[in-house]
Every structure is written in structure tokens, then in C-alpha cells.
Chain A
Amino acid sequence: MIYRENGQFKTSYGADQQIFPIAQDRWAVIAIIAFAFVGVPLLADEYMFRAILIPFLILSLAALGVNLLVGYCGQITLGAGAFMAIGAYAAYNFLIRVDGMPLLAALLLGGLTSAAMGIIFGIPSLRVRGLYLAVATLAAQFFWDWAFLRIKWFTNDSSSGSVSVSNLDFFGWNVDAPAEKYLFCLGMLVVFGFLAKNLTRASIGRQWMAIRDMDVAAEVIGIRPMWAKLSAFAVSSFFVGVAGAMWGFVHLGSWEPAAFSVDRSFQLLFMVIIGGLGSIVGSFFGAAFIVVLPIFLNQFLPVLGRLVGISISTAAVSHAELIIFGALIVFFLIVEPHGLARLWATSKEKLRLWPFPH
């Protein structure tokens, strides 16, 4: 198949404003989604689901949320982990305290609670930016770490501080086998992915990007900075909160506050930087990269070590992981701020012109 838009003339603005205006893109997306739903469950084993695919899907959703705020609206956050925690604990409390609460409703209510908190903790962004905003969101992270550890009501007075959810029931479908959990997470990610894509190409997305690119000019043409920024915090926190609830309910099953520490916040930020700030598909690239890299290094480095005759401990592998992340972050921030997504876009552009160089 040749990647071309030649001959695909748009005869209406509606056609030009489709979600994927280039036919090949449209088919590629459909093919990938179909393969993910049908092909992957046939091919993957239990380890793949548990260790790679489910974490990848849920963290993609969280990264998508972070990217809406950081990549599209230009507001930094170091508190994404806390909003995952808020989503998880809120969903948990809705589930256990309200009789007959359906799973989906609990997850969405977790997201909405996180969105409300996102608005409150986004208020500093109206006054400060950059480093100061980073510190303010970091403070939110520490506050919620503390709250979920110390305020026993949130964890239903469990003595160990850990909570658990079992019997995930999605409208009569008992989501418990790894493949089923995978399909559930995939369904959620596809829906949220489309929502995110739509928001970013609509008026609200343009307002976020305008604030990111040139806030004075944005205000001068009538964008209310308060609305644009707080809506970005709300929507982002909603995505991150739902992802947090899914992380607790579907991936972990039982968890402690430490599951959503500041490490998680940094990890999500790294995902969007490596994957591509301001790119939907970049969020997926970033999540895939960060989920797969440690596993890859764990397999690969010891083998490499044996080849050259040194034994590499697991501690060394995890050090290597940090070093590689650090180097990549620096590389992308300096050389390619749009991350893997831009490398992808550039190669697509080359392909579009192929075989002519210009």
C-alpha cells in the first residue's frame, strides 16, 4: 500500500475535518484496533497480558491525560500520581459504600472526583507557571500521599492500609481472566483515545494550545485563561483518575498508597516527553516504551554481560534503566521536544513523498 493523499480531494469541509482525513491513516487505525481486539488475545500468553499489555493500556490512558495538560495546554504537573490515587480511592469508596454501584459508574465517578480535585489544585496555574507550578503540583502529590496513608476513612479503616477489589462485574461480564481484563482495558482506552482526539481538534483543544503557545495573544482574541487552564486540569485529571481506578481495580486488585507515589508522577511525565508532547499517538509510544524498556533490559543486559564475561546483577539492571531514561529525557528535551511521535511523523512525511526526495 502506498501512503499517499493524492487523488483524495475533499469536496466539503466536513470531509476535510474527519478525525483521520487521510484514508490510509483511517484504515491503519481500524486495522490496529481490530488486531488488538481479535489478534492479540489469540497470540498473547498470560505473562504478556499481566506484565506488559494491561499496564501498557492503563498507563497509556494516564499518559494521555497528562499529555492533554502538559503537551496541549503547556501546564506542567508533577502530581499525576496523586490524581491516579484520587481516582482509585474515590472509585473504591463509591464501590464499597454505595449498594449496587456498577463497576463502570465507580470508575467514572473516580475520574470525576479526580477532575474536581484537578480544578482545585489547578488554581495555582492561574498565577504561576513553570517551576513554581511544578512545585505546587508536587505539593499536591505529597498532600495526597499523606492523606491516603493517614486518613483511615479513605481506606475503609483497613488495618494494613491496603485495600482490595474483587469480582469485577461489567454489566454481567465477569472480568477476571487476564485476557478479559486486557479486553476491558483496551475498550476503555479506545473510547478515551477518541474522546481525547476529538477534544484536541475542537475549539477547546485550540484554546489549550493557544494558551500554551502564546498566552497574551490567546487572551487578546477572547480566550479566558481561567476557563482554558482549569478545563485542561479537569479533563486531564479525569483521564488520569479513571486510569488510576483501573490500575487499582483491574491491574493490581489490591493496593497501598505507595502504588501511586511521586515515582509514578515522574514516570508519566517521562512518558509524554519521550513519546511526544502534544501528540495523542505519542502518549501510546511513550507508555509502550517505558513499560517495555525495563523488561527488555532485564532480559537483554544479563545476556549481553555473559557474552563479554561479566555477570550483571538485577541492581545493575535497574541502575542502567535509570541511566537510559535520564539520557533519553535529556536527548528528547534538547533534540526533539516532540518525541517519538515527531520521528514517526517525519518518517510518514518522507513516505508520502517517496520515491521523490522533495
Chain B
Amino acid sequence: MSKKIGDVVLDLQNISLRFGGVKALTDISFDVREHEVRAIIGPNGAGKSSMLNVINGVYHPQDGKIFFHGQERKQMDPHLAAAQGISRTFQNIALFKGMSVLDNIMTGRTLKMKSNLLLQAIWWGPARNEEIAHRKKVEEIIDFLEIQHIRKTPVGRLPYGLQKRVDLGRALAMEPKILLLDEPMAGMNVEEKQDMCRFILDVNDQFGTTIVLIEHDMGVVMDISDRVVVLDYGKKIGDGLPDEVRSSPEVIKAYLGAGH
């Protein structure tokens, strides 16, 4: 690949997270470099989703430090992480069911919209212009994801694969610096997976967005990721280039031992 991978943007050090007696993550350290596609793999329940939730502030780890652009990050609520440019999609689609595709993606622009409530109430001047300007941006995303035909459809009526795409669109609307994707291809057929892979690589290429990706399909992971972290029972058991990870005995054991 010809793209430039930059410095470390996100550095996680000795992260431990417990829910009561359940140790979801134990002493995990890894970093993410600018512009790279970083995959997190591991069997179900390994703690992958929890890791993403720690990164964007949904969960607060009991131990460990998070450095973001070299600065140690205080315990942080999700909307603050969002304000810093971290965006994500969800393993179990978490779209706003009562709203159209367009409105769902428009919601992703919230942080960028500044006009006050009174102007919005009278739909005047800056508020109106702002709506139109952001609508333009959202239409670009809609074109990019090839979902023009469903823009006014309530998301609840869409098939699963399209919902996943809208979920990605909403995350992209934030114009994130780091995009966290939680199993974006789970439950898709081969064609849908190919489309999704293409979108992810395009985002990475065209906008230089750093991507942290959880994925089960090893073929996909090997194809699109620059580096891979492997988790098992909340512990890190591998970290490196896709080929290194694939040939690591410990990783092979975890995967074979997972009961296939």
C-alpha cells in the first residue's frame, strides 16, 4: 500500500476493565497509528467491543492510561470523545429507528451545527443556511454509500445490510479522525461484505481516516488491515502485521481452541 502511516494517535496502556466479578479486559496495551487500519480480532466474549467502548468513553476502565495525540486523556464521556473526533458504529445496529435515513445521517452533523434554538424555531437566516449546508454534506455521504434511493425511508424498514451502511454513514457524517467499526460486516452476504470493504478502504484512502475495526472474517482482516491485535478472554495474545499474527502459535491455539 502506498499510503503514509503516521505517528501514534491513540496509545492505550495497561487497560483493565471489570464488571463486578467479570474481567472484560486485563492489562491490555496497544497503539493506533494515524491513517492505519487497525483490526481487533478474537473469539466471542474476548472483550473486543468493550475495548471500543473504552476508547470512546462509554466504559471507564478501572486501571490504565489512554493517550490521545500524546496527551493523557482524563475519564471522558462519549460526547466529549466525539467532539475530539472519535466516531463509531455498533455491533448491534443502534440507529434511530423512528427517523429517516437522511435524518439519521444529519444527526451525525450535530456537533458541527451551531445556530441557536430560537433561530431554529423560526427557521431563519443562519439556522436555515446551516441546514442546507449540512444537507449538502450529508448528500455527499449518501452518494458515497450509494443509498440515494432510500434517503427518505424510515431506517426501521430497511434490510439489515442497508442498516449497517446507514450506521456507517452516520458515523462518517461526523468527519471523524478515528473511526471505530464494531463488526461492520457481521451477518452480511459476500456481495454486501465486498461493498462494505470497499467503503472502508475508500474512507481510509480518500479522507485519511484512521480506522479501528473489529471483524471475524479472517480473510477480510488479512486483506484490509495494516496491523492486528488479538484478544482472548480479555487478554492480549497477539499484536503485529496480519501475516505475523496468522502464524503465531498462540493465536492459532486460541482460534482452534474456541471450538470450531
Contacts and interface: CB of A to CB of B under 8 A. Distances in A.
A202 B58 contact: no
B229 to A, nearest CB: 21
Chain B interface size, as a band, is 35 or more
Interface stretch (B86-94, B194-202, B215-223): B86-94
A17 interface: yes
A179 B171 CA distance: 53
B5 interface: no
B120 interface: yes
Contacts of A218: 96, 107
Contacts of B132: 12-14, 17
Contact of B139 (A13, A222, A223): A13
B98 A212 contact: yes
Interface in B87-118: 87-88, 90, 94-99, 103, 106-111, 113, 115, 117
Of A217, A221, A278, the most chain B CB neighbours within 10 A belong to A221
A235 interface: yes
B79 A214 contact: no
A222 B90 contact: no
A103 interface: no
B32 to A, nearest CB: 18
Interface string B71-96: 00000011101110001101000111
B99 A213 contact: yes
B56 interface: yes
Interface residues of A, number: 32
Contacts of A219: 58, 77-79, 82
A225 B94 CA distance: 16
B110 A202 contact: no
Contacts of A222: 79, 82-83, 110-111, 174
A173 B135 CA distance: 44
Main secondary structure of the interface of B (DSSP, over half): helix
B113 A203 contact: yes
A210 interface: yes
A26 B132 CA distance: 20
Contacts of A225: 79
Interface string B43-78: 000000000000010100000000000000000011
Contact of A202 (B56, B131, B171): B131
Given A203-B110, A206-B99, A220-B56, A214 B120 contact: no
Nearest to A338: B98
Contact of A217 (B90, B103, B109, B123): B90
Of B115, B121, B131, the most chain A CB neighbours within 10 A belong to B121
Contacts of A202: 120-121, 123, 127, 131
Contacts of B106: 203, 206
Nearest to A197: B123
A220 B131 contact: no
B196 to A, nearest CB: 19
Contact of A210 (B58, B77, B96, B115): B96
B97 A213 contact: yes
Contacts of B33: none
A136 interface: no
Nearest to B84: A222
A221 B98 contact: no
Interface in A183-209: 195, 198-199, 202-204, 206-207, 209
B76 to A, nearest CB: 11
A220 B176 CA distance: 12
A278 B98 contact: yes
Contact of B117 (A213, A220, A235): A235
A221 B82 contact: yes
A236 interface: no
Contacts of B109: 203
Nearest to B108: A221
Of B81, B110, B132, the most chain A CB neighbours within 10 A belong to B110
Given A221-B174, A222-B79, A214 B117 contact: no
A279 to B, nearest CB: 11
Given A203-B110, A217-B90, A224 B99 contact: no
Contacts of B121: 195, 198-199, 202
A56 to B, nearest CB: 24
Contacts of A214: 94-97
23 contacts: A13-B135, A16-B135, A198-B120, A198-B122, A202-B127, A203-B110, A203-B120, A203-B131, A204-B117, A206-B110, A209-B96, A210-B107, A210-B110, A212-B98, A213-B97, A214-B97, A218-B96, A220-B81, A221-B110, A221-B111, A221-B173, A222-B111, A223-B110
Given A210-B96, A220-B82, 4 more contacts: A17-B132, A198-B122, A214-B95, A220-B87
Q: Please list the 7 inter-chain residue pairs (A to B) with the smallest Cβ-Cβ separation, ordered nearest first.
A: A222-B82, A202-B120, A213-B96, A217-B94, A222-B111, A198-B123, A13-B135
